[in-house]
Amino acid sequence: MARVIVDVMPKPEILDPQGKAVTGALKRLGFDGLTVRQGKRFEVDVEGDLTDERLDQVREAAEKLLANTVIEAFDVRVEQ
Amino acid sequence: MARVIVDVMPKPEILDPQGKAVTGALKRLGFDGLTVRQGKRFEVDVEGDLTDERLDQVREAAEKLLANTVIEAFDVRVEQ
């Protein structure tokens, strides 16, 4: 069993209303000078050996389902 | 300007309905043998130098606002 991490973040040019809300809330709580962007983190447990093919399959899954590639960028990496 | 990453994941003993939905959708799309847990990823840009104090402040923000520590675990790390 191998674990692959998929990080999905809004693209830099895309507005991030969740991040903006968090940034505002932090300021109101007294945390100054912090700017937040919010995305998603997926921990994908892969059955069996993590071959290159299996990793490509996770990349395909990220592109098709985990990220909306019109507005989000994703990064796939094997957890050490 | 330093960047700190805060990962927030549902605790292992907590049900993760989003992750379950994604796992089911992947199976229906033909991606077999993948089990997913879904959490959040925050990219926190910290103004000025990243001192130990500033990093502690981000940890406090994570505990107070970014994570619901009853059901979620969080991890804070400086992006390399």
pLDDT tens digits for range A26-80: 999 999 999 999 999 999 999 999 999 999 999 999 999 999 999 999 999 999 7
A vs B: CB pairs below 8 A: 95
Q: Quote the CA–CA distance of A74 and A63 in Å, as a whole number.
A: 8
**Residues forming beta bridges with residue A41, ordered by sequence position:** A7, B39
* pLDDT recorded at residue A12: 94
Helices (H) and strands (E) in chain B, counts: 2, 3
- Best mutation target, B42, B56, B64, B79, to test chain A (most A CBs within 10 A): B42
CATH homologous superfamily of B2-78 equals: Phosphoribosylformylglycinamidine synthase subunit PurS (3.30.1280.10)
Where in chain B are the domains? Answer: 2-78
- Best mutation target, A6, A7, A34, to test chain B (most B CBs within 10 A): A34
* pLDDT recorded at residue A1: 86
Once rounded to an integer, what is the mean pLDDT over residues A16-22?
Answer: 97
ipTM of the complex: 0.94
Terminal Cα distance for chain A, rounded: 13
